[in-house]
Chains A and B, each alone.
Chain A
Amino acid sequence: MATISKESSMDSTQAALLAKVQPAELVEQPLVTNQRDFNWVTDKICRVVETPTPTWWWVCMAVALLTAAFTGLGLLWLVSTGVGVWGLANPINWGWAIVNFVFWIGIGHAGTLISAVLCLLKQGWRTSINRAAEAMTIFAVVCAGIFPLFHVGRVWFAWWLFPLPNANAIWPQFRSPLEWDVFAVSTYGTVSVLFWYMGMIPDLGVLRDRAVQRLKVGAYEGAGLLAKGMDVFRKYLYGIFAMGWRNAGNHWRNYEMAYLILAGLSTPLVLSVHTIVSFDFAAAQLPGWHTTIFPPYFVAGAIFSGFGMVLTLMLPLRAIYGLHDLITQRHIDNMCKICLGTGSIVGYAYIMEFFIAWYGANPYESFAFINRGFGQYSWAYYMMFACNVFTPQLFWFSAVRRNAALVWVMSIFINVGMWFERFVITVTSLANDFLPSSWGYYSPTIVDIFTFFGTFGLFSVLFLLFLRFLPLMPIAEVKFVMPAADPHGHNDSTGGQH
């Protein structure tokens, strides 16, 4: 609770010591500020969905759809012509497609970290950003999935990746990390959707009940038939997916157990997914890829980039919907600190890679790293280093963390930097490997650029739909961390965390 209990389990010497030292009371910042009550929280979150669609939403949706069309165009071009329209050419047969895949899948990791790992660690502050971050995870996995799917070339055979019988009577080859990836990413996507959906069931029930209440009162004279029609639609649609949830103590008991277990399952899952993604590289024998540092380095990078994206999304949301009492400075501080922590791990990994390249005394390995810093792609390396190593270090300063606009700009830098990290890893190692006679230089084509650019549109379309139709914060979980939810009446203003 707010202050560390001084009465319990303390002997006289400790008491004398404390009287002498006069320790400052440890005041924890509240998770919901301005003494808001339950109804305010319910209303605030439900109204985002229930009020008429704001104009900015239509504008953003139009822009997002237009942007997403670029992916459609790029893929149409690719499928109708062949995978050669991408910039891939010997020796660089992995280009932007894999870079973009790893970039998007990494972004997803923050959502799972927030919903699973921080849940297990009992971090009450996760509640208000949890739902949107999980949505981000799912949409990022959708964007990520496009690239390997179309990279197979003849996309209509992509189902051969799954262990399904086909006319050739050949099965997938399970010794390949790429096949492990199929399982890792599809499991990740599926479990994220399950977790997201289960977390949403009580809130869908809230939206259902509110629609039913309005229909019972029936005060639609001014608002017209459309508003009533929408409520009928809500009553049935949310009602169907709420599965008859009725907030019973018995429901909550099983629900909380299931939630805890899903968090427990998602934690090893999130660590394994990017580990397996890193195996795609590390299991190869290419200098610059064949290192044991890859799994932890990739996981830290994924969480770093994901929190960058969470900040990129949550700061505008907070401003648009006036969520300052729910996403407080404490939330932003914590997210920045996670960026700082994981960003420092990433920076350490960059330096350690160089050290091992020298210490390992393998000439090919040392060359790969010297080539990263000073070779033909050094511009990408410096871009990556500047964005990922220097940017997060600014988060040491609370003045920086308190400047929302600056934090937002820095979060963009993190996104950019992490994209370049994957570019550096993938392309520099392939472009200059063992034999100088087989070296090459890779540039993306317009099709590569269209396809990648469009995924931001696709992501935005999905995210905007989420904002419009689903509760953007877990109402029940936010209420749970409020002081009024404490059954033992510790009604101080600091959040009833257990």
Chain B
Amino acid sequence: MSETHGIIASFADTPSFYHAAEKVRDAGYTKWDTYSSFPVHGMPEAQGQPRSKVPVFTFVGGITGFTVGTLIVWFMNYFDYPLIVGGKPFFSPVFPFPVMYELTILLAAFGTLGGMFITNLLPQHYNPLFNSDAFLEVSGDRLVIAIESRDPKFDPEATRRFLAEIGGTDIEEVSN
């Protein structure tokens, strides 16, 4: 319990929160994050984060869905058990298009949700931050920046001072 997980500081309103995030980014911290109960417009840029990787998962899901959709129709109605219906071809990319299309969307959606979980490293039901009473208030209207102790630039005193300088209040050390 004694080891420090990080230091959290609260901010009064969205603009000061946003600008504080820019300052933390510019100060060169890497293991830190902002916490707010709503997505702040432009925050990824203020935090210096790259574009989300979720679309990669969507793409993989979509391609898988399209391939599976094509293959099941080909296998079932052409290869394994050719069925004559209305003199139509056993396989064509046209008639099963709705199946291919729906499966593309289905697996792309699963890929997207899965991608969101993977990129966010969720589920992770425990996090030391939840030990802080102030942090729980993020769900209401508190705006918090937390700098973690595993950040190479982290120094208990200097980081605390830095957070106060950029306008943070209720500065609190969160232990593991």
Q: In whole angstroms, what is the CA distance A262 to B72 when docked?
A: 25
Knowing A171-B76, A206-B139, the reply to whether A255 touches B116 (Cβ < 8 A) is: yes
- Residues of A close to B55: CB separation below 8 A: 257, 261
Please report which residues of chain B, range 112-157, place their CB below 8 angstroms from some CB of chain A when the two chains form the complex: 112-113, 115-117, 119-120, 122-127, 129-130, 133, 136-141
Say yes or no: B103 contacts A187, CB within 8 Å: yes
Say yes or no: A179 contacts B122, CB within 8 Å: no
Please report which residues of chain A, range 280-333, place their CB below 8 angstroms from some CB of chain B when the two chains form the complex: none
1/0 contact string of B90-109 vs chain A (CB within 8 Å): 00000110110111011011
Q: In whole angstroms, what is the CA distance A103 to B53 when docked?
A: 39
Give the residue among A212, A252, A255 with the most B Cβ atoms within 10 A. Answer: A252
1/0 contact string of A378-412 vs chain B (CB within 8 Å): 00000000000000000000000000000000000
Task: Answer whether residue B83 sits at the interface, using C-beta atoms and an 8 A cutoff.
Answer: yes
- Residues of B close to A42: CB separation below 8 A: 37, 139-141
- Residues of A close to B41: CB separation below 8 A: 480, 485-487, 496, 498
Instruction: Select which of A176, A184, A485 is within 8 A of B102 by beta carbon.
Output: A184
- Residues of B close to A479: CB separation below 8 A: 37-38
Q: In whole angstroms, what is the CA distance A484 to B141 when docked?
A: 10
Interface size class of B (residues with CB under 8 A): 35 or more
Q: How many residues of A contact B (CB 8 A)?
A: 73
Say yes or no: B122 contacts A244, CB within 8 Å: yes
Task: Select from chain A the residue with minimum beta-carbon distance to B69.
Answer: A183
Knowing A171-B77, A184-B102, A265-B105, the reply to whether A245 touches B39 (Cβ < 8 A) is: no
- Residues of B close to A243: CB separation below 8 A: 117, 122-125
- Residues of A close to B18: CB separation below 8 A: 487-488
Within the complex, the shortest CB–CB distance from A249 to chain B, in Å, comes to 4
Question: Interface of B with A (CB < 8 Å)?
Answer: 13-15, 17-18, 21, 33-44, 46-47, 49, 51-55, 58, 72-73, 76-77, 80-81, 83, 85-86, 88, 95-96, 98-99, 101-103, 105-106, 108-110, 112-113, 115-117, 119-120, 122-127, 129-130, 133, 136-141
CB-based closest 6 A-B pairs: A171-B76, A487-B18, A38-B141, A257-B52, A258-B116, A249-B34
13 of the cross-chain contacts (CB-CB < 8 Å) are A169-B81, A173-B85, A184-B102, A205-B139, A244-B127, A247-B138, A249-B40, A252-B43, A258-B112, A265-B105, A266-B109, A268-B105, A477-B38
